[in-house]
Amino acid sequence: MPDLLRAAAIQLTATADRAQNLATADRLVRAAAAEGARLVVLPEKWSVLGTAEDLRTGAEPLDGPALSWARAAAKELQIELVAGSIAERIEGERNANTCVHIGADGVDRASYRKIHLFDVEVGGTVYRESDTDQPGSELVVSDNIGLSICYDLRFPELYSALAARGATVLTVPAAFTEATTTDHWEVLLRARAIENQAFVIAANQIGEHAPGMRSGGRSMIIDPWGVVLAEAADTEGVIVADLDFTRLAEIRERLPSLASRRPDTYV
């Protein structure tokens, strides 16, 4: 990573309309690049989001239209693109919820399949991500970027492991529900940044994806001290912030909590 890197988080409202989702993503990624962003993060399931049937119908392989566009855009715009996540069609009855990090040359750097599936009841709505998706099992750090997706945010041990493997930037593409965005989102994001002395780029969905299914927005970029560098308004759009890795090194040197960890005792 350079000493200073401009990063962006994309906030959008994905639905079952894949063509519209792709057009919105293209417009906003181009806007981020025009603002000088060299690292851009899309939200979770930006290519299709809605009912279980919408996700089954809209699932694609990694060489499908969504990621083919993402690779072409990254190369054209000369950006690192963390392509949020897509509903990846894989062998078997269920999909994977898959995040792909694409380099500025348009070539995949790494892919991560969401480990923690969202099987919960929130605000009277039951979510059963395991009905459509199967969980991944591997942690992924790609060029100092720790990859995660949405519900992963509630599991601090995942991020500790990413930091231990060299992550200085933690990406959180999400479709955090409206209720949990209101009460938990910022607290969890800032905690992950402070605990791991890393930048956090959190790109959330906003608005209604299907009847009764809403995300809360408030996409954020946070520094290793837990300071919110940028926060999105309650609409589709782009936020940008400069990541200062000299400051990150100073924080880790002066408050060496990562070096003081005693993982051998945490059992």
Q: What Cα–Cα distance (Å) separates residue 186 from each residue in 113, 212, 245?
A: 24, 23, 22
Catalytic residue among 35, 44, 88, 208: 44
Torsion of CA 74, 31, 98, 122, to 10 degrees: 170
44 is catalytic: yes
Catalytic residue among 129, 150, 250, 253: 150
Instruction: Please give the Cα distance from 173 to 245 (Å, whole number).
Output: 22
Residue 63's φ and ψ, nearest 5 degrees, are -100, 20
45 is catalytic: no
Instruction: Please give the Cα distance from 237 to 105 (Å, whole number).
Output: 25
Largest CA distance in the chain: 51
114 is catalytic: yes
Classified as helix, coil or strand, 104 is coil
Catalytic residue among 45, 99, 114, 129: 114
> Which positions are annotated as active-site residues?
44, 114, 150
